[in-house]
Structure 1
């Protein structure tokens, strides 16, 4: 049975100056775009300009937030699945990522979320573990297997190519295989029975 490709949104979670996220994210996106079962959209949060102050419940968002959401929200809504590329800041994930998550709700419902992390000795895995309950609260399904880069700045050459491409490429394939399985399963389930949160 032929299936339509999944729409995959890859979120680059760091917005700090001198960030390493695009190096990791671009490598992953290159691999994902080699697959015929995925259509990849790169969502760089450094370009979204979402305000850090959310409106009160029931209140309208400020005009600058509305403009940012008009760009970001439809892209998240269109996605069948997500990959979050995150660093680890102080044993957790960056505020920019939590802010983007909190500005949205239904966009995450009944969709799979996978993680590519990077950092120092932990490889960003503490950020991933902190993100799992956040996405569970938003009715998303997180993928068990991750791709992580310990001491990430030493793991890539000047061209943004991993120094051990076979090892991390195999991990990325496992992640994407699991993500696409869940993406198709959840998309087909929602087509039969709309998800109720």
Structure 2
């Protein structure tokens, strides 16, 4: 049985480009073969700023949006976060979504597909690594950094990766598969 990889679109901003990149990555991950990828759009969950009365560690959720998000996060063996960079940091919607649940993330690997201008979203990716490790995830060192991403999206909003991006994606998926396979038996 293939491992499940949630490809999470980390921006909810109107006019965002994350869906184009995430759709490409989900298809590439499917072709890779180690995972059964699932495209997860944070915008579909409409998470408010954290509103649960109890700490997420307890998993005593009261709101339907939290229960739905919890089920989505728990269903995965690994994650690929597709993230832009906002003011040298990860998007607030993504940070909020990470904070919404706790135990569901644990002992699973995560890869980062970052995009931006010249910096390729690398500052956002680096800022996320601290949060991911605090949530007991293993962020793999391999990542996909996409500089000047707008030049790689065509008129139909289809992302067209170059050879360097494809090589990076394969490397990250290979490593995610190793970690996902190793960590799966450690989860109760």
Q: What is the aligned partner in structure 1 of residue 173 from structure 2?
A: 176
Q: Does 1:47 align with 2:25?
A: no
Higher alpha-carbon Rg: 1
Q: What is the aligned partner in structure 2 of residue 140 from structure 1?
A: 137
Runs of 5+ unmatched residues, structure 2: none
TM-score (norm 2): 0.91
Alpha-carbon shift at residue 169 of structure 1 (Å): 1.1
Alpha-carbon shift at residue 70 of structure 1 (Å): 2.8
Runs of 5+ unmatched residues, structure 1: none
Cα RMSD over matched residues? 1.8
- Tell me: CA distance 1:105–1:53, structure 2 relative to 1, closer, same or farther (3 Å): closer
- Tell me: CA distance 1:109–1:61, structure 2 relative to 1, closer, same or farther (3 Å): closer
Q: Does 1:20 align with 2:17?
A: yes
Aligned length: 184
- Between the aligned partners of 1:168 and 1:119, the Cα distance in structure 2 is 13
- Between the aligned partners of 1:103 and 1:48, the Cα distance in structure 2 is 11
Alpha-carbon shift at residue 155 of structure 1 (Å): 2.2
- Tell me: CA distance 1:85–1:58, structure 2 relative to 1, closer, same or farther (3 Å): closer
- Between the aligned partners of 1:104 and 1:22, the Cα distance in structure 2 is 23
TM-score (norm 1): 0.87
- Between the aligned partners of 1:169 and 1:132, the Cα distance in structure 2 is 22
Q: Does 1:80 align with 2:56?
A: no
